[in-house]
Structure 1
Amino acid sequence: MSAAPHTPAPKNLGRTALICAGVAMGMTGLSFAAVPLYDMFCKATGFGGTPMTGTAGAGKVLDRTMAVRFDANVAPGLGWTFTPESPDISLRVGETKTVFYKITNKSSRASTGIASYNIAPEKGAAYFVKIQCFCFTEHTLQPGESLEAPVVFYIDPEIAGNRELDGMKAITLSYTYFASKAGQPLAQGGTAPAKGDAATSNL
C-alpha cells in the first residue's frame, strides 16, 4: 500500500498569523477606546440620560417655563452629606441658571469622592445643556470640611421644535457621589458602577 501524498504547508501561514495578530491588537485597542468614545457620544447627543455639554448660553430665551428638580445621593460607605441649595427651580427655556450643591465630609477621616449624574426623563437629556459642573472631578475632603460646587446649565430652546415634548413640564438632574480611587467611582462592593447606574428620580 502506497503512502499518502505529503500535503505541503500553506505558504501564506505566516502572513495569516500576522493578520490575525493585527486584528486582535486592533480589537483590544478599540475596547480601550470604547468607553471615552461612548462618553463623548452621550455628551454630544444626550443618549442614555446624559446631559449635553456647552461652553456658552443659549443665545435666546423663550416664554416657555419649565421646572428643574435636583436629586442628590451619596453611595454607602463614603460618609458625606450632599444637598442642593434648593430642591427645584423654575426657569424659562434658554435661560442660564446656576445652582450650588453643598458637600460635607461627616466622617472622621479624609476621603475622596467623585460624582456621576443622569437626567430624567431620558428624552429631556438632549435638551439639558451643562456649561459648568463638578461631576467626574475628584474632590478630597478632610474630616468636617465642606465644599460648595456649582452647576451652570440651561434648557436648549430647540426643545420647542420637538412636539413630542410639548407636555414636558419638569426635568430631574440626579447626582450620586461615590468613593473614588484613581479617578474612578467605586460601588459599595469596591468596583466601578456601570454607566447609567447613577440614581435617577422619577417624575
Structure 2
Amino acid sequence: MICQTTGWGGQPIKSAAHGDDTRDPSERLRPVEDHPRIRITFNGSTSDVLPWKFVPNQREVRVLPGETALAFYTATNTSKEDIIGVATYSVTPGQVAPYFSKIQCFCFEEQRLNAGETVDMPVFFYIDPEFANDITMKGIETVTLSYTFFKAKYDKDGHLRPVAQ
C-alpha cells in the first residue's frame, strides 16, 4: 500500500489524483503535445509454481504524458485444474513510478482461470503530465511495465498470500 501511494520501489501510483483529492482526475488527462512520445514496453512472467502462460499482447505503445493508453495481457492456465493467481507489477526505471498511474488493472486482485482457460486482461494507464516538467525525467524515453503472476493461497487467518517460488 505504501509503494502504491508513494511510487517507492518502482510501484506505479494507483491514485489518479496523486494525493490531490480536490482536483478532478480528468484534469490530469491532457496530453502534453510538445513533449516527445514515451515508449512504454511490456513484460509478463509467472512464478515457477504457476502453470500459466502469461504474455503481453503488444510489445510497446507510445504515449504523450497526460495521454491514456490501453494494453492487454493474455493468461492461459495450462494445467488440468482450476487455479487462482495474483499479479504484482513494477515500473522501470523506478524514478518514473510516481508518474505512472493505473486507471484500471488486474493486479493485486484474484484471477481465477479454469483448467485450460485463456483470458485477456486489460491495463488502462497514463503518464502524469507533470513528468514533462520534472528535470530528473529528462532523457527517459522508455518505460517498462512488468507483471508477474503468482499462485495464490490463503494463510491461517484467511488472508491471500502468494505461494513462494
Do both share a fold (TM > 0.5)? Answer: yes
SS of 2:88's equivalent in the other structure is: strand
Q: Which has the higher strand share?
A: 2
Structure 1 gaps, min length 5: 1-38, 189-203
Residue-by-residue CA offset, 1:36-81 (whole Å, 9 max, x unaligned):
xxx1x32222111110113544231112210111110011121101
Query: Does the 8 Å CA contact 1:115/1:185 hold for their aligned counterparts?
Result: no
Q: Which has the larger radius of gyration?
A: 1
> Do the aligned partners of 2:5 and 2:15 also contact (CA within 8 Å) in 1?
no
TM superposition score normalised by structure 2 = 0.86
- Determine the structure 2 residue equivalent to 1:10: none
2:142 aligns to what? Answer: 170
Instruction: Name the SS of the counterpart of 1:129 in structure 2.
Output: strand
- Residue equivalent to 2:30: 60
Match for 1:83 among 55, 75, 79?
55
Amino acid at match of 1:110: D
Which residue does 1:187 correspond to in 2?
Answer: 164
Q: CA deviation at 1:185?
A: 1.2
Which whole-Å CA distance do the structure 2 matches of 1:45 and 1:153 have between them?
Answer: 17
TM-score, normalised on structure 1?
0.70
Which amino acid in 2 is paired with 1:60? R
Question: Which contiguous aligned blocks of 4+ residues in structure 1 show a shift greater than 6 angstroms?
Answer: none
User: RCO greater where, 1 or 2, for CA within 8 Å and sep 6 or more?
Assistant: 2
Q: Which has the higher helix share?
A: 1
CA distance in 2 between counterparts of 1:160 and 1:118 reads 21
How many residues in Structure 1 have an aligned counterpart in Structure 2? 149
Residue of structure 2 equivalent to 1:155:
127
* Alignment of structure 1 residues 1-203 onto 2, 5 Å: 39=1, 41-55=2-16, 56-57=25-26, 58-63=28-33, 64=35, 65-182=37-154, 183-188=160-165
| Unpaired segments ≥5 residues, structure 2 | 17-24, 155-159
